[in-house]
Amino acid sequence: MAEERQITAGEAAVGDKGESRHGGPERGAEDPARVWEALVATARRTVADGLVVGTSGNVSARVGDLVLVTPTGVPYDRLTADDITGVDLTGRQVLGTLVPTSELPLHLAVYRTTGARAVVHTHAVHATAVSTLVPELPAVHYMAGALGGAVRVAPYATYGTEELAENMLRALAGRSGCLLRNHGTVTYGDTLDQAYDRTAQLEWMCRLWLTASSVPGLTPSLLTEAQLAEAGARLKGYGQRR
């Protein structure tokens, strides 16, 4: 029986004939080494922007059937190109020697059930605060439409468990972001930038609602489902065409 060996970053995305494992042409933008560099930059940004403290969050990106993910317990400013860490969709480690994040079940659940190419998980302060107060973020701003509608709060479960991943998936149904009760945020997107921007917007909306709802004697006005749906439709066409 041939000895099993660990695949390299190049082999993970590209076959012997320069084709992806899905049979498509090689794409430089999906070179694992480049994606890892962008992933580390995104992880560092979550710290710089105050969305996580220390190593409390995690980031991942999918390249074919390979999921690159931040390792557990390693400060992001210490990660280098040599620390690339990857698993397949079953969670089996196929790249690197550092142990993947303890929240791996959460990330894999998103990739198995959606077309996500990137996932960002944080412990953002305002979003986590909101997760302890309500079952759903009140529709205080139309940017909720960019996440698919009113942002739900997934019931609490111990971190790193399949139970948490299942609770998250229910909260994500029809959405690209949700809150985890007494825990934090999860967002996903087609790119690392999109997933990160959705996290930042979610944290901002949570801060907005907390601020507005703290004014004595006044209650924030909220948008209707129809208004959120209309905003979401318009936001799909927002920005420059490429």
In sequence order, what are the beta bridge partners of 185?
122, 179
Per the listing, tokens 């929240």 go with 103
103 is known as an active-site residue? yes
Q: Which of 3, 26, 30, 103 does the annotation list as catalytic?
A: 103
Token output for 174: 């029809």
Please state whether 201 falls in left (phi above 0), alpha (psi between -120 and 50) or beta. Answer: alpha
Q: How far apart are CA 101 and CA 80, in angstroms?
A: 16
Sheet holding 93-95, edge to edge: 93-95, 86-87, 66-69, 58-63, 118-122, 184-189, 177-180, 153-154
Per the listing, tokens 């990106």 go with 61
The residues assigned a catalytic role are: 103
